[in-house]
């Protein structure tokens, strides 16, 4: 199903409002989901509306977001059980605001859930000429390296650097597969790739339902599992539970850093562009494609999608969302 960007946003807003999310929050979430679809990540696009609705049913729309503590360089924010797409935007913007004044902004957000693509937030900082880092822990769905019990979240981490032209953005999950990707495979009746999950007894599985009942595996073996633990710890610093159950408090850590603390921003941006050019002009593997910097494919997809003015939504997802609007 092809939807114009305007129709996709309107559909998402109508769905979320129908499930009792405030309209301003619904607009924020819809913008993010359309961006994710433009970036080529269908599992992070409109298909996310269905689990968001389930969480809204269980958790409610949340209360009033408030700042618990603030200094000239830091802030701790209580997300009031509001969806993470909303609280993460506030958290990143607060870190940017602090960094513009003091050179560094460190923000923790807790008592929130489900925040989507991390590149969406760090790219925002890089476009404000800030270096950014963002880590987000989440409900326990991933086994630590060598184990089969769910202890860690999918725990993505992202970085962004201002550069001439487009920012350089690095965003990756520390799990072998994202939760939303597993749900997307379930929604569309597709098996998972091999080597991504185990069932409740620890046996390898490609069945999304069995994977949800069991555990996802860490990305990159022991190294990826170690990164997941780092993200878990940063989430704890932001105020999350150590191990997060379905109704637990997720923790989001944001940092914005002004390059001017160490060198003039234009010089840094020029150096980053030189680095990018050096990577992309390097020789590819024999019979391989050209070398790209991290995030370049997503950025190209966003630009192409905005130019054409529409996104592709799986028919199964569209029908389920349309039904959820009451139309």
Structural domain contains residue 212: no
At 226 the three-state DSSP class reads helix
Structural domain contains residue 327: yes
123 and 70, same domain (yes or no): yes
254 and 123, same domain (yes or no): yes
144 and 16, same domain (yes or no): no
Structural domain contains residue 211: no
| Structural domain span for residue 38 | 1-61+295-327
72 and 85, same domain (yes or no): yes
- Reading the block at residue 214, the tokens are 């069991």
133 and 235, same domain (yes or no): yes
Structural domain contains residue 202: no
First and final CA of the chain: distance in angstroms?
Answer: 17
CB neighbour burial string for 208-223, b if at least 16 within 10 angstroms, e if fewer: bebbbebbbbbbbeee
pLDDT value for 249:
86
Average pLDDT, the chain: 95
DSSP string, 125-144: HHTTT-EEEEEE--SS-BPP
CATH number of the domain that 101 lies in?
3.30.1370.60
d(CA 223, CA 228): 9
Structural domain contains residue 209: no
168 and 47, same domain (yes or no): no
18 and 141, same domain (yes or no): no
pTM given for the model: 0.93
Structural domain contains residue 287: no
pLDDT value for 324:
87
232 and 161, same domain (yes or no): yes
DSSP annotation of 196: S
d(CA 151, CA 134): 21
* Pair type for strands 104-113 and 74-83: parallel
Structural domain contains residue 193: no
Q: HSE on the CB side for 1, CA within 13 Å?
A: 18
pLDDT tens digits, 135-187: 999 999 999 999 999 999 999 999 999 999 999 999 999 999 998 899 999 98
37 and 126, same domain (yes or no): no
Number of domains in the chain: 2
At 176 the three-state DSSP class reads coil
CATH number of the domain that 55 lies in?
1.10.1530.10
149 and 269, same domain (yes or no): yes
pLDDT tens digits, 262-288: 999 999 999 999 999 999 999 999 998
26 and 75, same domain (yes or no): no
236 and 103, same domain (yes or no): yes
Structural domain contains residue 289: no
pLDDT tens digits, 54-79: 999 999 999 999 999 999 999 999 99
């Amino acid at each position: 199903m092809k939807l114009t960007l305007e129709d996709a946003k309107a559909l998402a807003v109508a769905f979320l409002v129908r499930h009792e999310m405030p309209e301003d929050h619904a607009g924020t979430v819809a913008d993010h989901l359309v961006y994710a679809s433009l970036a080529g990540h269908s599992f992070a696009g409109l298909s996310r509306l269905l689990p968001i609705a389930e969480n809204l049913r269980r958790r409610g729309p949340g209360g009033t977001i408030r700042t618990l503590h603030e200094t000239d360089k830091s802030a701790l924010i209580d997300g009031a059980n509001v969806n993470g797409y909303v609280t993460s935007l506030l958290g990143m913007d607060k870190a940017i605001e602090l960094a513009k004044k003091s050179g560094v902004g460190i923000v923790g957000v807790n008592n929130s859930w489900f925040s989507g693509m991390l590149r969406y937030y760090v790219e925002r900082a890089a476009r404000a000429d800030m270096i950014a880092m963002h880590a987000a822990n989440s409900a326990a769905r991933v086994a630590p390296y060598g184990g089969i019990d769910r202890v860690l979240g999918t725990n993505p981490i992202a970085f962004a650097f201002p550069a001439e032209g487009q920012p350089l953005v690095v965003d990756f999950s520390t799990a072998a597969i994202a939760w939303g990707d597993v749900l997307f495979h379930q929604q569309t009746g597709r098996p998972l790739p091999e080597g991504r999950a185990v069932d409740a007894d620890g046996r390898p599985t490609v069945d999304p339902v069995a994977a949800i009942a069991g555990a996802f595996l860490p990305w990159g073996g022991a190294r990826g599992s170690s990164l997941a633990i780092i993200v878990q710890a940063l989430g704890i610093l932001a105020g999350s539970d150590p191990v997060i159950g379905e109704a637990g408090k997720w923790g989001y850590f944001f940092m914005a850093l002004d390059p001017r603390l160490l060198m003039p921003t234009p010089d840094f941006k020029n150096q980053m562009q030189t680095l990018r050019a050096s990577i992309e002009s390097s020789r590819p593997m024999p019979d391989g494609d050209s070398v790209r910097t991290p995030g370049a494919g997503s950025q190209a997809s966003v630009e192409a999608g905005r130019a054409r003015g529409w996104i592709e939504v799986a028919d199964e997802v569209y029908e389920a969302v349309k039904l959820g609007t009451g139309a």
